[in-house]
């Protein structure tokens, strides 16, 4: 399973990339706002750090506007993937962009039928938001199971990108289900590497080593 970092902070992206576990980056308008860096400049820096898919989200709500934004982003670097919202106008844009060879990440997916439509339109990735479903007392990971089953039934090439992951358990479940990709904030990525028994074991080994030197 590929791991993307969901961030617009260059420091976080550099640090996570240095661990050797980051395959790509996802951004959105909210993350860009927090970064304080102009969007195009931010993308130009990110592609220097991570050699993998970099999602850049459009803000237009009409297909023509989405396509225009997408074509501009795509010129920045070959790794740029265009994030398109899962609305009817977005499906139109995805179809056109797919025909032009521009990769897309269909975002804000909350149902399996939506995911099927995105795949039919030609989306490269589908981004089901599991955390937001959990927030409304719905099993977000069940959506990943449903999409995996449907895509496998029909040998659909669109990759499932589990989004809005908020805990190590989301990672575990996504990997067991067979999600192609998962994206999560820097804080959640740090949690994955930590375990209290690892910390205790390391502390004991170091303490024993100090005793052995004496």
Catalytic residues: 83
Instruction: State how far the alpha carbon of 133 is from the alpha carbons of 81, 99, 163, in Å.
Output: 24, 32, 11
| Phi, psi values for residue 141, rounded to 5° | -70, -20
DSSP state, residue 108:
E
- The residues facing 161 across adjacent strands are 181
List, as one string, the DSSP characters of 125-185: EEEEBHHHHHHTT--HHHHHHHHHHHHHHTT--PEEEEBS--SHHHHHHHHHHT-SEEEE-
Joined together, the tokens standing for residue 137 give 């007392």
Dist CA 5 CA 124 (whole Å)? 18
Dist CA 80 CA 104 (whole Å)? 9
Interacting residues of 62 by C-beta distance below 8 A, sequence separation 6+: 89
């Amino acid at each position: 399973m590929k791991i993307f970092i969901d961030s617009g902070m260059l420091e976080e992206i550099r640090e996570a990339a240095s661990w050797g576990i980051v395959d790509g980056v996802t951004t959105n308008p909210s993350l860009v706002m927090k970064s304080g860096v102009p969007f195009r400049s931010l993308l130009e820096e990110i592609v220097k750090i991570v050699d993998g898919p970099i999602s850049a989200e459009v803000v237009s709500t009409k297909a023509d506007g989405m396509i225009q934004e997408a074509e501009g982003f795509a010129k920045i670097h070959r790794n740029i993937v265009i994030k398109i919202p899962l609305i009817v106008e977005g499906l139109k844009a995805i179809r056109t962009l797919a025909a032009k060879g521009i990769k897309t990440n269909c975002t804000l997916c909350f149902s399996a039928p939506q995911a099927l439509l995105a795949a039919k339109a030609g989306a490269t990735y589908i981004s089901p938001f599991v955390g937001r479903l959990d927030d409304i007392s719905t099993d977000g990971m069940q959506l990943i199971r449903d999409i995996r089953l449907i895509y496998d039934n029909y040998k659909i090439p669109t990759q499932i990108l589990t989004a809005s992951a908020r805990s190590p358990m989301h990672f575990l479940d996504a990997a067991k289900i067979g999600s192609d990709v998962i994206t999560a904030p820097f804080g959640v990525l740090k949690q994955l590497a930590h375990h209290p028994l690892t910390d205790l074991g390391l502390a004991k080994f170091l303490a024993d080593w100090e005793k052995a030197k004496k």
